[in-house]
Amino acid sequence: MLEVQSLTKNYGRGPDAIQALNGLTFSVNHGEFVSIVGPSGCGKTTLLKCLSGLISPSSGKVIMNGDVIQGPPAGMALVFQEYTRSLMPWLRVDDNVALPLRGKMPKEQVGPAVEKSLRAVGLGSFMRSYPWELSGGMQQRVALARALAYGPEILLMDEPFASVDAQTRAELEDLTREVHREYGVTIVFVTHDIDEAVYVSDRVVVLTNRPTSVREIVGIDLGSERDQVDTRETGDFAHLRAHVARLLMSLDPAKTHTSPEASRSEV
């Protein structure tokens, strides 16, 4: 459903130009959950911005359902890390979720769509609360509900859980997998956390340093039922996270002597 073909993005021109992306090619199938990991500053956010049509590639293209993306396409929604900046503090939770739907959906469908998505993220009883009355994790659930209410075919998530504590992060990972299944939505998920990428995904796209290309695409054969404790305890999980960690460390000579098993790996 999404094809990234020889995608290149440069910022600026001349000697100061930054080549962020250099000929990225990969595809995302309908209903897949694909994570993107790569070294810091390699261009993950740039890639998501190109996928969402917010910026144009310097060369190459992104194709969604056969059409080249030339601006924000219908059927695509984004969730960012900074949920506090994406929610309107003066609007109640349900009004925040309804806001982007107004004018895009028949009026009588807005209320049911808002309620369905808030229930899907476990916030059915907080519809009339204000965002500032909710915890950080709950606010990020509102941001997820707002993206889902729109009924997107594809959801782009940029380090969505980077600002919450570990327990909340684990809950949000499971919730995202649940709504992925329930809504049948395709997800492209950028994260710095190798364990998270392996835990949530069907495939992990590992990027190189700038100028960035695809280092390897790793299939995550851990089955569809995953559990924060049991799955992470398996040998398959350990093997996959070590493989992704080694790929990333092979890009960074300073880290080649560190054991990938030493700690939860962030890149």
CB of 255 to ligand ATP, least distance (A): 15
CB of 94 to ligand ATP, least distance (A): 32
Of 126, 175, 116, 173, nearest to 148 by C-alpha is 116
Sign of CA dihedral 10, 27, 55, 177: negative
Q: Which is nearer to ligand ATP, 126 or 189 (CB)?
A: 189
Q: Which is nearer to ligand ATP, 18 or 68 (CB)?
A: 18
Q: Which is nearer to ligand ATP, 42 or 220 (CB)?
A: 42
CB of 212 to ligand ATP, least distance (A): 8
Tell me how far apart the alpha carbons of residues 125 and 47 are, in angstroms, rounded to a whole number: 36
Residues that bind ligand ATP (CB under 6 A): 11, 18, 20, 38, 40-46
Q: Which is nearer to ligand ATP, 227 or 266 (CB)?
A: 266
CB of 249 to ligand ATP, least distance (A): 16
Q: Which is nearer to ligand ATP, 44 or 146 (CB)?
A: 44
Beta bridge partners, 27, equal: 3
**Structure token pair of residue 26:** 């990969």
What's the chain's Rg over C-alpha atoms? 19
Tell me how far apart the alpha carbons of residues 60 and 213 are, in angstroms, rounded to a whole number: 13
Number of other CB atoms surrounding residue 144 within 10 Å: 26
Q: Which is nearer to ligand ATP, 13 or 107 (CB)?
A: 13
CB of 177 to ligand ATP, least distance (A): 23
CB of 137 to ligand ATP, least distance (A): 21
CB of 193 to ligand ATP, least distance (A): 12
CB of 80 to ligand ATP, least distance (A): 11
Residue for token pair 């940029």: 158
Of 16, 17, 18, 20, nearest to 8 by C-alpha is 20
Q: Which is nearer to ligand ATP, 54 or 91 (CB)?
A: 54
Q: CB–CB of 89/131 below 8 Å?
A: yes
Helical axes 166-183 vs 107-120, angle rounded to 10° = 130
Tell me how far apart the alpha carbons of residues 70 and 149 are, in angstroms, rounded to a whole number: 24
Q: Which is nearer to ligand ATP, 159 or 202 (CB)?
A: 159
Q: Alpha-carbon dihedral of residues 240, 39, 138, 85, nearest 10 degrees? A: -160
Sign of CA dihedral 62, 67, 73, 76: negative
